[in-house]
Structure 1
Amino acid sequence: MKRVVATGTFDILHPGHLYYLEESRKLGDELHVIVARDGNVRHKPKPIVPEEQRLQMIAALKPVDHARLGDPHDMFLPIEEIDPAIITLGFNQHFSEEKLAEALRARGLNAEVVRIPGYRNALASSSQIVDRILKTRPIPDR
């Protein structure tokens, strides 16, 4: 059985997330998704949607076989437990494929790292959705 791991924050689900997961699923027999914990998101604004709710939404998607929250202290721990053949990265995830592959090998993991290309759509990122909400739904004076 060829396991694939996809990771991400998955804040405010949109078609880009679904595309990433569908493309990841095509690479193997089983797709495991690791949803970032609220406290581990440091490279962008904190998620709007709480981690348990983001996990629930990801687990309900058709391409996803298994979903779990990441470890609060060690991002490699869930990957060690799953032991995937492939780890996918979204087009805008900040990891370097080469550095991630090196870090995996240092932990005794031989997973291939594959970057999934971007999805082109008007609203294919959570930040675009937030920007559109702020532009089209101004906060009324209180």
Structure 2
Amino acid sequence: MKRVLATGTFDILHPGHVFFLSSARALGDELYVLVARDSMIRHKAKPIVPEIQRLEMISSLKVVDKAMLGSEKDIFDPLYEIDPDIIVLGHDQTFDIEELQKSLKEKGFKAKVIRIDESLKCPLYSSGRIVNKILERYCESQD
């Protein structure tokens, strides 16, 4: 049985997230998802939706077999429990595949890292685009 792991912030759940997770699920038999902890997000603005609610949303998707919060200390800690065969990165995730693969090997993991380069082509495929649309609609109409 091939276990796939996907990770992300998953703030303001949208069709791009569903596309990413469905693409990840197609690579194996089980899909585990790590939802980033608020305290560990440093590469972009803190999420609008609290981590527990983001976890509940991801857990409710049919394509996800198990979702859990990531570690607040070491991003690799949950991998000891999950033991993935494949770790999937999204097109916009900043990890360097070679560096991540090397770190995994050093920690004793045999998982293969794969990036899904495709993204959903629709107007609201990202949290940022959704936020901008809300601001455009509700803030500009206030002028």
Structure 1 unmatched ranges of 5 or more: none
What is the rounded CA distance, in whole Å, between the counterparts of 1:72 and 1:59 in structure 2?
19
1:84 match = 84
What is the rounded CA distance, in whole Å, between the counterparts of 1:119 and 1:80 in structure 2?
31
CA displacement at 1:138 relative to structure 2: 1.2
1:34 match = 34
Which whole-Å deviations, capped at 9, do the CAs of 1:14-62 have from their partners, x for residues lacking one?
0000000000001111000000000111000000000000000000001
Residue type at the aligned position of 2:138? R
1:71 match = 71
What TM-score does the superposition give when structure 2 sets the normalisation length?
0.95
CA displacement at 1:136 relative to structure 2: 0.5
- Residue 99 of structure 2 is aligned to residue 104 of structure 1: no
Structure 2 unmatched ranges of 5 or more: none
Residue type at the aligned position of 1:5? L
What TM-score does the superposition give when structure 1 sets the normalisation length?
0.96
Identity level (%): 55
Q: Superposition RMSD on alpha carbons, in Å?
A: 1.2
What is the rounded CA distance, in whole Å, between the counterparts of 2:120 and 2:113 in structure 1?
19
Residue type at the aligned position of 1:82? I
2:11 match = 11
CA displacement at 1:110 relative to structure 2: 1.0
SS of residue in 1 equivalent to 2:57: helix
What is the rounded CA distance, in whole Å, between the counterparts of 2:127 and 2:80 in structure 1?
29
